[in-house]
Structure 1
Amino acid sequence: MELSAVPPVGETFGVEEEFHLVDPDTGALTPAPALAEAAVRGELGDRVHPEIATTQIETATGICRTLSDLRAELATTRGQARAAAADAGVALLPASTHPFAGSDELVMTSAPRYEAMVRRWAGLALRQDICGCHVHVGVPDLETAVAVLDRARPYLPVLLAMTGSSPFHEATDTGYESYRTLWWSRWPNTGPPEPLGSAERFREVVEGLVAAGVVADGSHLYWDLRPSSHLPTVEFRLADVCTDLDDVVLHAALARSLVRVLAGRAERDEPVAQPRPELLRAARWRAARDGIGGQLFDPVAGELLDARTAVERLVGELSDDLADRGEEDEVRHLVDRLFGRGTSATRQRAVWRETGDLRAVAAAVVREGGGA
């Protein structure tokens, strides 16, 4: 995603998605080193990029301004990635974990950036067998980005709960909708950000992490929400890969609306809720465990809520903004559809219960994502 000029808050947005690469017949995780090398050299265009392992590939949409723009861009980027993968003899598996592969099956991508990551993070990088979905929302400056970060923290668990696609890991039902969240939490540079208060304070934190050797620069700051290091955006990094394209559109629509609403509150200098970090981590854990199939924890009120109620509260807070932009009806329709069929994690478990075969789970994810 490239921005040549800085439009108003939330006017533009875009999505990056990471995918596992699998054998189209067996669903087994399959390295594609030639594909990774072509992506490193930029031979797959500006929409398809390499990832740390040759069993993964990343896509990035162009700049979008409407939900229909985003839907079309996602279809295009996924189509380009599927075509590139097919040429390499593999298929895309759009979920955050592979149902039965082990991290010992990963083969690292040969590129200076990834080699440096392995040197810095050692076994964490070598076992990076998860994929994510990232939403960039345009903001005019770093101060606005930090103001949004400080206000968005209590809302992140609800957004996470709506995207779970990683119930299985290394051939085990983990008991979580988003096991990716738990796996990712092992890194020292992940999780919900603490309140920052100003752009200056954000820079100081990044400088401290660089001095500690935890990160090389701001591009390795893997918080659930961060100011982008190379774009005038805030970047939501908390979501699992959404198998169904509708769920990507829903997640991105809510993230963008939240940025617009929270930036407005910051401009009006409205109070900022600051839940304890322990409660915020508890809310994140609950969302990763139960998704939308149970109860979610409100870290501000300190209470459990039915997941549908929590989601409706979020949509209600954003309804004026969504309505002003003609997006409310579509968002509510997508919410109804999500609750009607469940998350990708729910649907994967349904296939597992029916077949007892994790290869069938992988095949179902590939098909649902448009790969077969």
Structure 2
Amino acid sequence: MSLGAFHDSEPLTLGVELELQLANTHDYDLAPYAADMLRLMGRHQLPGSVVPEMTSGMIEISTDVCRSSAEVLSQLGQIRDALVQCADKLNITVAGGGTHPFQQWHERRIYDKPRFQELTQLYGYLTKQFTIFGQHVHVGCPDADAALMMLHRLSRYIPHCIALSASSPFVQGHDTQFDSARLNSVFAFPLSGRAPCVLTWADFEAYFDKMTATGVVRSMKDFYWDIRPKPEFGTVEIRVFDTPLTIERAAALAGFVQSLAAWFLAEQPFTPQEDDYLVYTYNRFQACRFGLEAEYVDPGSGEHLPLREHILRTIDRVAPYGEAHGASGALQLLRGDTLASHNDARWLRECMAQEDLLAEVTRQAGLRFRG
């Protein structure tokens, strides 16, 4: 199968996808209500789309193409309000968070869609364990070569994205001691991790042709990379974010990505190289495990410093580009939380410490999502 042409897109435009939890209002476990939610949501005239996900206690919403984080927030707000209305009719709740705190994977049902059934045949129980919830952010690139440069420059900031969005401390009733335990489920897939460090589209096409020739890969969808190019949209897609507890944070994370991307396009601040990836897995693990308290090894300088400090430096560096694209409020929100060492994982833990009941944590998360 051919990779296909890299389509034109307006540089620095945004698209956001959110995978969301559907929980009953009896014990706040996941509930198989995706089909009912899709039926009710189909009656609303909304931007973007609402589609099923791997198992029937989850759905995915997405925006149309947006030019700013404010537009992302506006579209997510419209979709969120309709979701809440539909959920109330079904007596269920919709929540963010990268994992459901206590659902048992073996109780999940695969949503009846041919691709999901194929994946179940291939990956076995891993597909049910894929009942995890992420945010994907697409950013428009001027051309195919620029997209690969963007992808590999962004890779230095994957730990920042993980720590800022981390919202999955609990798995199957236990505190994992990770801020983002969700990504541990992604790493189990054989084609996860990072893209090969090729910087021209011609070289990437050659790599893709080799992979399809092995019979292991049929399309870009088969790569579960942290960041991947999406030639059909003309974008690069970042996939490491946990789904935040609020749409405000989801929009702010999109603003952070747009600000970074604008800086890269304007200044070309460094040329990516294979050696950038020497510390990639270490940095990613640190961010998953410790969130904003992680250690970060700068791939360029080799400097070891607190990730929180590097996030603050980065926000200050991209602030002029954020301002030019209307993302100042988004960066301010993230800066304030970073200074306070506060992400959604910490909020969930604080809620658990106060309530001592994970069902109540899920109920409170559902209330937060309502806004």
TM-score, length of structure 2 as denominator length: 0.89
User: CA distance change for structure 1 residues 111 and 359 in 2, over 3 Å: closer, same or farther?
Assistant: same
In structure 2, what is the equivalent of residue 342 of structure 1? Answer: 342
**Equivalent residue in structure 2 for 1:163, among 148, 165, 172:** 165
Matches within 5 A, 1:135-154: 135-154=137-156
Match of 1:246 among 245, 248, 259: 248
Give the letter aligned to residue 29 of structure 1.
Answer: L
Cross-structure match for 1:64 = 66
CA offsets 1:57-94 (integer angstroms, 9 cap, x no match): 00001221122211111111222233333344322121
Structure 1 position 295 matched with structure 2 position 310: no
Taking a change above 3 Å as real, the CA distance of residues 324 and 279 of structure 1, as seen in their structure-2 partners, is: same
The code of the aligned residue for 2:25 comes to: P
1:114 is the counterpart of 2:125: no
Asked if the contact 2:178–2:288 (Cα under 8 Å) also holds between the matched residues in 1, the reply is: yes
- Matches of 2:237 and 2:341 in 1, distance apart? 28
Superposed CA RMSD: 2.5
Counterpart residue number, 2:30: 29
Structure 1 stretch displaced more, 146-155 or 159-168: 146-155
Correspondence for 1:9: 11
Separation (CA, whole Å) in 1 of partners of 2:329 and 2:19:
29
SS of equivalent to 2:275: coil
Moved more, 154-163 or 290-299: 290-299
> Paired residue for 1:317?
317
Match for 2:288: what amino acid? A
Counterpart code for 1:345: A
Structure 2 SS opposite 1:320? helix
CA contact (8 A) 2:163 2:287 kept: yes
- Distance in structure 1 (CA, Å) of the matches to 2:344 and 2:261: 25
Give the superposition deviation at 1:56.
0.6
- Whether the aligned pair in 2 keeps the contact of 1:36 and 1:51 (CA below 8 Å) is no
Deviates more, 1:186-195 or 1:79-88: 79-88
Question: 1:273 Cα deviation (Å)?
Answer: 4.9
Q: CA deviation at 1:195?
A: 1.0
1: CA distance, partners of 2:233 / 2:251 = 21
- Please state how far the C-alpha of 1:331 moved relative to its aligned partner: 1.4
Alignment-derived partner of residue 306 in structure 2: 306
Q: CA deviation at 1:260?
A: 2.2
Inter-partner Cα distance in structure 2 for 1:167 and 1:93: 15
- Partner Cα distance (1:36, 1:113) in 2: 20
Q: Distance in 1 between matches of 2:61 and 2:338?
A: 23
- What is the SS of the residue equivalent to 1:226? strand
**Percent of paired sites with the same residue:** 25
Q: CA deviation at 1:339?
A: 4.1
Aligned to 2:21: 20
Tell whether the 8 Å contact from 2:99 to 2:131 is kept in structure 1 after alignment: yes
Q: Which moved more, 1:257-266 or 1:279-288?
A: 257-266
After TM superposition, the structure 1 stretch with the greater mean CA deviation from structure 2, 145-154 or 316-325, is 316-325
Q: Matched residues in 2 for 1:231 and 1:68: separation?
A: 21
Superposed CA deviations along residues 134-183 of structure 1, whole A, max 9, x for unmatched, are 01111232222111112221111112111100000011110100001122
Paired AA for residue 211 in structure 2: L
Instruction: Indicate if the aligned counterparts of 1:21 and 1:29 stay in contact, CA closer than 8 A.
Output: yes
Secondary structure of 1:275 counterpart: helix
Counterpart Cα distance in 2 of 1:210 and 1:83: 44
Distance in structure 2 (CA, Å) of the matches to 1:330 and 1:125: 34
User: Is the 8 Å Cα contact of residues 36 and 109 (structure 1) preserved in structure 2?
Assistant: no
User: CA separation in 2, counterparts of 1:233 and 1:91?
Assistant: 32
Correspondence for 2:92: 90
**1:362 counterpart = 2:362:** yes
Check whether the contact 1:38–1:44 (CA below 8 A) recurs between aligned residues: no
Give the secondary structure class of the aligned counterpart of 1:58: strand
Superposition pairs for residues 115-130 of structure 1, below 5 Å? Answer: 115-130=117-132
Instruction: Output one character per residue of 1:65-124: Cα deviation in whole Å (capped at 9) or x when no partner.
Output: 122211111111222233333344322121110101111121011111211222232222
Of 196, 199, 206, which aligns to 2:198? Answer: 196
- So what's the TM-score if we normalise by structure 1? 0.89
The 2-side partners of 1:249 and 1:105 are apart by: 32
Partner of 2:217: 215
Aligned partners of 1:205 and 1:124: how far apart in 2? Answer: 27
* 38 and 204 in structure 1: CA distance in 2 versus 1, 3 angstrom threshold: farther
Length, aligned pairs only: 363
Deviation at 1:333, TM superposition (A): 4.0
Report if aligned partners of 1:319, 1:328 keep a CA contact under 8 Å in 2. yes
Residue 50 and residue 308 in structure 1: after superposition, are their counterparts in 2 closer, same or farther (change >3 A)?
A: same
SS of corresponding position for 1:288: helix
User: Does the 8 Å CA contact 2:319/2:331 hold for their aligned counterparts?
Assistant: no
Structure 2: tracts of 5 or more residues without a match: 1-6
Query: Structure 2: which amino acid aligns with 1:287?
Result: A
What SS is found at the alignment partner of 1:243? Answer: coil
Change (3 A) 1:312 1:121: same
| Corresponding residue number in structure 1 for 2:277 | 277
